[in-house]
């Protein structure tokens, strides 16, 4: 590891929350232990690539995942070794309410997260908890068609209240729904909606998201009643959308596509349906069932901060035939100026600065980058201290994105922290592969489920430790960034 060379222009505020992020279904395993019920993930052996199965099948890597359920202490110790200030994880709803519609929670499930929090506390790592990260209890999907049914609001409120009452003194930062805007693209994964996508109308999908938004506002109310110090954030899948050409029709197409994502942030932050969304609904002949009580909740219980995942940008065009972009659950067309990852996600560090500035200008709420990273095929090699991965490509990716975060902070944007996605290798959400790795820590398991599950430090492990220790001062701006300021 080269010694950090502090750069005075790259400043992160003191107290900046450096860390990493995960989700229960992608790390825990133990899918049927200690009273846990099934979640939608347990019947998605190929992620979003093929329709769900009727029952869990052994080829579903998430059933065991990386066995965090039994190895959490060892894993958290490794995160602490990197100097983590914050660790984002989700609580598996079906561990707490195995079916989702019971009245009493499962004590063994609650006790597991007590143990995780104990371990984090021991190492001085702040928890950041996602309440619902693509893991709706399967029973709610099959019996109620997931979030299309208004009754899920009540079930979610009970679940959230249980969490705030149990952990509300120990967990300050909470996120309600992971990437709420993804319901449109992946209704089963994101909204627990069992009806196949091609049989769902836009009316169904908007109504489902409306229910989630109301549930989010209702939980914000409950959280603040239980402990006013709790900070609730929304979570948006951020995809800056550029016009493919300067043609004004492309500019408008890009704006419309971007608004499809902004809309849900607008609702979370401003508490009312924005005019452009009302027009879209009108034009499509969609009439949502929105009660007065819904409106009051949305208006009065807006979020405290905005969190986002950022992996890529896309282009839009209304004027040209262009190849479709491949990427994080969203469409768009490919940007001819950008390189892509092994999975075709286009890499655009500057897009992160752009979206941070846009969100800050629009909402004026503190921002938290809760996902960002490079999914890549790593090769384990022998190193002086044992097996390792020479993942310079990951270091370059993260360095370049973090430099853009520093630029956004210099632009005046308030950024609370940064949790890189999959800080320890985990099972991919979209493809359910192990070989799409994001971590600083290599986990010995392949796509067929073979491997010892041993953990090995990659080269990026030491690099991130230095970044955190220097509070970002060892990051290296590209010559272009240095000139641009
Ligand atoms: C985000 C999700 O969309 O992208 C994560 O919140 C997911 O759950 C991450 O893992 C990366 O996507 P993938 O498909 O590479 O796992």
Ligand 1 neighbour 258 (Cβ under 6 A):
no
Please tell me the residue having the least CA distance from ligand 1 atom 8: 429
CA distances 294 to 15, 138, 150, 182, 291, Å, are 36, 26, 11, 21, 5
Q: Tell me if 365 is assigned to some domain.
A: yes
For residue 482, pLDDT over 80 is answered with no
Domain with 331 in it: what CATH number?
3.20.20.80
- Are the C-beta atoms of residues 97 and 159 closer than 8 Å to each other? yes
Ligand 1 neighbour 439 (Cβ under 6 A):
no
* Separation between Cα atoms, residue 247 and residue 254, nearest integer Å: 11
Q: Which atom of ligand 1 is nearest to the CA of 428?
A: 16
Residue 65 Cα to ligand 1 middle (Å): 14
Task: Name the band, by pLDDT with cuts 50, 70 and 90, for residue 321.
Answer: confident
Catalytic residue among 64, 179, 258, 316: 179
Q: Which atom of ligand 1 is nearest to the CA of 237?
A: 3
Q: Tell me if 7 is assigned to some domain.
A: no
Segment 313-341 shows an average pLDDT of 84
| Closest CA relative to residue 183, chosen from 240, 251, 134 | 134
Q: Tell me if 235 is assigned to some domain.
A: yes
pLDDT at 480: 66
Q: Tell me if 292 is assigned to some domain.
A: yes
Q: What is the pLDDT of residues 227-283, one digit of tens each?
A: 999 999 999 999 999 999 999 999 999 999 999 889 999 999 999 999 999 999 999
For residue 324, pLDDT over 80 is answered with no
Q: Tell me if 310 is assigned to some domain.
A: yes
Number of compact structural domains in the chain: 1
pLDDT at 478: 76
Q: Which residues contact 59 (CB under 8 A, 6 or more apart)?
A: 45, 449
Give the number of other Cβ atoms within 10 Å of residue 306's Cβ.
Answer: 24
Ligand 1 neighbour 310 (Cβ under 6 A):
no
The distance of Cα 135 from the centroid of its chain, to the nearest Å, equals: 12
Q: Which domain holds residue 368?
A: 17-484
The percentage of residues in the chain with a pLDDT greater than 90, rounded to a whole number, is 92
Residue 27 Cα to ligand 1 middle (Å): 12
179 is catalytic: yes
Q: Which atom of ligand 1 is nearest to the CA of 430?
A: 14
Residue 275 Cα to ligand 1 middle (Å): 31
> What DSSP character marks residue 466?
H
Segment 33-47 shows an average pLDDT of 98
For residue 460, pLDDT over 60 is answered with yes
Q: Tell me if 334 is assigned to some domain.
A: yes
Residue 391 Cα to ligand 1 middle (Å): 20
Where does residue 274 rank: exposed (0-12), middle (13-18), buried (19+ CB within 10 A)?
A: middle
In sequence order, what E strands does 119-230 have? Answer: 126-132, 173-177
Q: Tell me if 2 is assigned to some domain.
A: no
Q: Tell me if 9 is assigned to some domain.
A: no
User: Is 184 in a helix, a strand, or coil?
Assistant: helix
């Amino acid at each position: 590891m080269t010694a950090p060379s502090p750069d005075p222009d790259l400043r992160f505020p003191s107290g900046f929350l450096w860390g990493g992020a995960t989700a229960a279904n992608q790390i825990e395993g133990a899918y049927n232990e200690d009273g846990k019920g099934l979640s939608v993930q347990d019947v998605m052996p190929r992620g979003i690539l093929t329709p769900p199965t009727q029952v869990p099948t052994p080829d579903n890597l998430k059933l065991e995942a990386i066995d965090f359920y039994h190895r959490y202490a060892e894993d958290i110790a490794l995160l602490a070794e990197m100097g983590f200030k914050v660790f984002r994880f989700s609580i598996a709803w079906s561990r707490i309410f195995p079916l989702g519609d019971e009245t009493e929670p499962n004590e063994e499930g609650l006790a597991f997260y007590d143990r995780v929090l104990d371990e984090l506390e021991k190492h001085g790592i702040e928890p950041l908890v996602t309440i619902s990260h693509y893991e709706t209890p399967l029973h709610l999907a099959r019996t109620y068609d997931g979030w299309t049914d208004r009754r899920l609001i009540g079930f979610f409120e009970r679940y959230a209240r249980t969490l705030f009452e149990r952990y509300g003194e120990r967990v300050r930062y909470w996120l309600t729904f992971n990437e709420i805007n993804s319901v449109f693209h992946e209704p089963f994964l994101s909204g627990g909606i069992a009806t196949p996508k091609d049989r769902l109308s836009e009316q169904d999908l908007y109504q489902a998201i409306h229910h989630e938004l109301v549930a989010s506002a209702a939980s914000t109310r409950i959280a603040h009643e239980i402990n006013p110090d709790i900070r609730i954030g929304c979570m948006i899948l951020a995809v800056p959308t550029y016009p493919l050409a300067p043609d004004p029709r492309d500019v408008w197409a890009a704006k419309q596509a971007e608004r499809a994502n902004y809309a849900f942030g607008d609702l979370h932050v401003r508490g009312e349906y924005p005019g452009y969304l009302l027009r879209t609904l009108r034009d499509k002949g969609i009439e949502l069932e929105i009660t007065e009580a819904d409106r009051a909740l949305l208006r009065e219980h807006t979020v405290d901060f905005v969190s986002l995942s950022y992996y890529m940008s896309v282009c839009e065009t209304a004027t040209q035939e262009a190849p479709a972009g491949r990427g994080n659950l969203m469409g768009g067309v490919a940007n001819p100026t950008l390189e892509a990852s092994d999975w075709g996600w286009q890499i655009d560090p500057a897009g992160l600065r752009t979206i941070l500035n846009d969100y800050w200008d629009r909402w004026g709420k503190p921002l938290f980058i809760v996902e960002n990273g490079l999914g890549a095929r790593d090769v384990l090699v022998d190193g002086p201290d044992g097996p390792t991965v020479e993942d310079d490509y990951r270091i370059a990716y993260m360095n370049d994105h973090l430099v853009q975060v520093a630029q956004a902070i210099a632009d005046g944007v308030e950024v609370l922290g940064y949790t890189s996605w999959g800080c320890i290798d985990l099972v991919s959400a979209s493809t359910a592969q192990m070989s799409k790795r994001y971590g600083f820590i290599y986990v010995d398991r392949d796509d067929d489920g073979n491997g010892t599950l041993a953990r090995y430090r990659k080269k990026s492990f030491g690099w991130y430790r230095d970044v955190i220790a220097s509070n970002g001062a060892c990051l290296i701006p590209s010559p272009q960034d240095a000139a641009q300021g």
